[in-house]
């Protein structure tokens, strides 16, 4: 009997040390009353606004992809968003994602970043670039800003792709908030 009393006291003592209550943890609620987190990503592409917003971003259904998130793949992270206008993607080439600037230059080689109404936009020309600043990385969520100069892909080919005018796609006013990082 004494063993059961000690075991019960230990369970109560250890559960009081948890950062979340057991019911909150089971419901997936964050401690501190934060609850569901809304993630956003927005920017303008040649003056046209694109916006993605996901309520309860930590619990997105992935069939087959989530709407807005950042996933780890081997030695890099990929921030991906899907909207009515297309897809946005940026790869952070690092083993350990942290606050800071991540930049991809066209001189590194062709890299896809945005599909805007079925036109793929690449860092292709030497003057092209895409720059993401992570200004906050807290509780498994990243926030920050981005901008870039890209080149449209006119025709995809197995031998030689045909690109449009170099640097003709301008990405401005880019921002992202509370984007969940999935491991």
This prediction's pTM: 0.79
Q: Residue 33: is its pLDDT beyond 50?
A: no
Predicted local confidence at residue 19, as pLDDT: 41
Q: How far apart are CA 91 and CA 138, in angstroms?
A: 19
Residues 6+ positions from 23 with CB-CB distance below 8 Å: none
Q: How far apart are CA 131 and CA 154, in angstroms?
A: 23
Q: Residue 17: is its pLDDT beyond 50?
A: no
Mean pLDDT of 15-32: 42
Helix H or strand E segment including 142: strand 141-155
Q: Residue 6: is its pLDDT beyond 70?
A: no
What does the pLDDT look like over 125-181, one tens digit per residue? Answer: 999 999 999 999 999 999 999 999 999 999 999 889 999 999 999 999 999 999 999
Predicted local confidence at residue 165, as pLDDT: 97
CA of residue 71 relative to chain centroid, distance: 7
Q: How far apart are CA 90 and CA 115, in angstroms?
A: 12
Long-range contacts of 101-104 (CB under 8 A, 24+ apart): 101/131, 101/132, 101/133, 102/131, 102/132, 102/133, 102/134, 103/129, 103/130, 103/131, 103/132, 104/129, 104/130, 104/131
Confidence of residue 40 (pLDDT cuts 50, 70, 90): very high
CA of residue 29 relative to chain centroid, distance: 21
Helix H or strand E segment including 9: helix 2-15
Contact yes or no for 150/113 (Cβ under 8 A): yes
Q: How far apart are CA 77 and CA 97, in angstroms?
A: 7
- The domains of the chain are located at 1-29, 36-182
The dihedral through the CA atoms of 54, 57, 63, 65 has a sign that is positive
Confidence of residue 15 (pLDDT cuts 50, 70, 90): very low
Q: Name the more confident of 38 and 7.
A: 38
Helix H or strand E segment including 112: strand 111-116
Mean pLDDT of 86-106: 95
Q: Name the more confident of 34 and 174.
A: 174
Least confident range of 59-68, 78-87, 96-105? 59-68
Predicted local confidence at residue 67, as pLDDT: 95
Contact yes or no for 55/38 (Cβ under 8 A): yes
């Amino acid at each position: 009997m004494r063993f059961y009393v000690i075991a019960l006291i230990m369970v109560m003592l250890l559960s009081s040390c948890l950062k979340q209550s057991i019911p909150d943890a089971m419901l997936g609620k964050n401690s501190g009353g934060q609850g569901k987190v809304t993630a956003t990503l927005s920017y303008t592409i040649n003056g046209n606004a694109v916006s993605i917003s996901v309520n309860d971003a930590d619990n997105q259904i992935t069939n087959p992809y989530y709407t807005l998130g950042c996933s780890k793949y081997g030695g890099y992270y990929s921030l991906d968003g899907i909207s009515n206008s297309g897809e946005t993607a940026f790869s952070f080439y690092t083993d350990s994602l942290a606050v800071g600037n991540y930049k991809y230059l066209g001189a590194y080689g062709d890299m896809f970043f945005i599909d805007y109404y079925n036109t793929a936009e690449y860092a292709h020309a030497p003057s092209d670039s895409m720059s993401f600043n992570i200004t906050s990385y807290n509780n498994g969520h990243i926030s920050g800003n981005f901008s870039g100069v890209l080149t449209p892909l006119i025709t995809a080919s197995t031998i030689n792709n045909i690109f449009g005018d170099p640097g003709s796609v301008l990405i401005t006013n880019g921002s992202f908030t509370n984007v969940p990082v999935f491991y």
